[in-house]
């Protein structure tokens, strides 16, 4: 709406402090919310000043209602964006008070335990190879001795009887090697299983540590921007509420008084403008010019009455 007047409300500063301009990940909805707030401020001033010339009120009122609709949409979108931005902080709460460094330390301990178990499993495997070799050698000696001792001349030369204890001793050695091999095989499987469990634990702990670190970083980023978003939301809500009150008051005056009769004035609007001026005067320097012009319009309306 062209009003012939330029409302100077300052450069949009959604960050509140100039040193925060570089804050990352500001929601894209901030810019539309700022634009809607400035349009609402301009519509607020235009409607207030139009009350002095009743013929221009319908146009100013239509623009104010359009600005209200835009502000409501922008507020709802920014509110949803703010809720999404604080989700990482909620997620961090579900992780409890876990310490990322502690998780990594426990994971390192699990890795060390897995390495120890793997070394033990390797030693057991080497012992099995020696036992298997000893078993094979003993079985070979048993066959060889069986053949040799089956010859009378060989027994006579060796001075042993056919039922000597040599074969029995070799049999005991062979059986012992087999039993030891099977025992080591069982131990080796248990060691391998335990090492696998320790490795899995180490992987889970490292993954959880990464998730805790990532969630904490997201939560900190969200906290850094949440204040910005909340400030923009608060300012937009304040301006929207003021414009809504003035639109309602003007509509009410329009229904009660003969439209276009300057003598009747806008009593409800004049009263609402006084409240709005008082609220905006304490809301920051950016609204000083707006409050001043609204005060001028309010005094003009009071003079009409």
What would the pLDDT profile of 239-291 be if each residue is shown by its tens digit? 999 999 999 988 888 777 655 445 566 888 888 888 888 887 776 667 788 88
Lowest mean pLDDT, pick from 107-111, 129-133, 166-170, 262-266: 262-266
Q: Which residue has the tokens 């639109």?
A: 247
Confidence of residue 67 (pLDDT cuts 50, 70, 90): very high
pLDDT value, residue 46: 92
- Is it the case that residue 15 has pLDDT exceeding 50? no
For residue 16, the 8-state DSSP code is S
- Listed in sequence order, the residues at least 6 apart from 26 whose beta carbon sits closer than 8 Å to its beta carbon are 14, 15, 225, 228, 229
Residues 48-59: what's their mean pLDDT?
Answer: 86
Closest Cα to residue 283, out of 27, 41, 36, 33? Answer: 41
What is the band of 102 on the pLDDT scale with cuts at 50, 70, 90? confident
Mean pLDDT, to the nearest integer, of 134-144?
Answer: 77
Task: Flag whether pLDDT at 6 surpasses 70.
Answer: no
pTM exceeds 0.85 for this model: no
Closest CA to 75 of 243, 296, 271, 232: 232
**135-to-1, 113, 127, 176, 179 alpha-carbon distances in Å:** 102, 33, 12, 8, 10
What pLDDT is stored for residue 107 in this prediction?
81
Of residues 260 and 134, more confidence is placed in: 134
- The answer to whether the CB of 100 falls within 8 A of the CB of 216 is yes
d(CA 176, CA 106): 41
**What's the pLDDT at 54?**
79
């Amino acid at each position: 709406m062209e009003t012939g007047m330029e409302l100077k409300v300052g450069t949009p500063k959604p960050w509140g402090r100039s040193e925060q301009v570089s804050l990352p990940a500001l929601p894209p909805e901030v810019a539309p919310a700022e634009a809607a707030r400035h349009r609402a401020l301009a519509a607020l001033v235009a409607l207030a000043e139009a009350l002095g010339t009743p013929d221009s009120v319908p146009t100013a009122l239509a623009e104010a209602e359009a600005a209200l609709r835009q502000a409501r949409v922008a507020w709802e979108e920014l509110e949803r964006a703010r809720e999404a931005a604080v989700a990482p902080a909620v997620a961090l709460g579900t992780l409890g008070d876990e310490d990322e460094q502690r998780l990594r330390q426990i994971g390192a301990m699990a890795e060390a335990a897995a390495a120890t178990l793997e070394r033990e499993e390797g030693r057991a495997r080497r012992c099995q190879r020696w036992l298997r070799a000893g078993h094979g050698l003993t079985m070979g000696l048993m066959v060889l001795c069986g053949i040799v001792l089956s010859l009378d001349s060989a027994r006579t030369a060796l001075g042993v009887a056919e039922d000597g204890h040599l074969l029995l001793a070799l049999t005991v050695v062979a059986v012992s090697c087999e039993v030891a091999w099977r025992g080591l095989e069982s131990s080796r499987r248990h060691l391998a299983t335990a090492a696998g469990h320790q490795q899995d634990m180490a992987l889970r702990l490292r993954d959880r540590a990464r998730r805790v670190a990532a969630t904490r970083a997201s939560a900190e980023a969200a906290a850094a921007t949440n204040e910005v978003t909340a400030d923009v939301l608060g300012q937009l809500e304040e301006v929207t509420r003021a414009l809504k009150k003035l639109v309602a008051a003007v509509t009410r005056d329009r229904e009660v008084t003969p439209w276009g009769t300057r003598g009747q004035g806008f009593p409800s609007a004049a009263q609402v403008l006084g409240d709005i001026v008082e609220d905006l005067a304490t809301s920051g320097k950016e609204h000083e010019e707006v409050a001043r012009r609204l005060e001028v319009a309010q005094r003009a309306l009071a003079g009409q009455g």
